[in-house]
Amino acid sequence: MWLGVCVLCMQALQAPPLAVVVRSEGGINPSEEKVTFFQDGRVVVESWSLAQRDKRQSSGRLDAQQLVKLDELLAKAQKANWPPTLNQTRGPQVAFAVTLTWWWQGKENSVLGYTFGEPPLPDEFTELSQELFQLAQKAVSQPAR
């Protein structure tokens, strides 16, 4: 009995997240922000910058309305049918990028876009990634329920 429960617990702990979005910026003060949305509504935001020197982490939980919004955003990403790499760049501009990874019907999808690449990022990709970051910020800033 306990072995069966432990196996189920381990499977739940190893379940992939629903989505991960990472924004990195180079320059004088390089930084990275990573948001992970989990199937149970948890959200983890990790950030790092040269000025901070420490990795910061905050977490929260999406409410029912926010979970619906997340599902809508991931459905948009799936429907967009983007290629794995949206554009190209060279040199220092490579350090300015957004990567969106999401799981849809058991399949992992990932898209990389360079902020200063050519051609410019599609507006739909830019808006969707910004909405995901905003959704995460709302979840981590609301009081615990």
Question: Of 47, 56, 49, 54, which Cα lies nearest the Cα of 28?
Answer: 49
- Give pLDDT, residue 32: 95
Quote the pTM value: 0.84
Q: Which residues pair with 47 in a beta bridge?
A: 33, 56
* In the chain, % of residues over pLDDT 70: 87
pLDDT (tens place) for every residue of the chain, 145 residues total: 444 444 444 444 555 688 999 999 998 889 999 999 999 999 999 999 988 888 999 999 999 999 999 999 999 999 999 999 999 999 999 999 999 999 988 899 999 999 999 999 999 999 999 999 999 999 999 765 5
> What token pair was written down for 139?
């979840």
Spatial separation of the C-alpha atoms in residues 16 and 14, rounded to whole Å: 6
Residue ranges per structural domain of the chain: 16-141
Homologous superfamily (CATH) of 16-141 is Mago nashi (3.30.1560.10)
For the chain, give the mean pLDDT. Answer: 88
Q: How would you write 61-120 as a 3-class SS string?
A: ECCHHHHHHHHHHHHHHHHHCCCCECCECCHHHHHCEEEEEEEECCEEEEEEEECCCECC
> Tokens 């199937």 identify what position?
39
96 in Cβ contact with 117 (< 8 Å): no
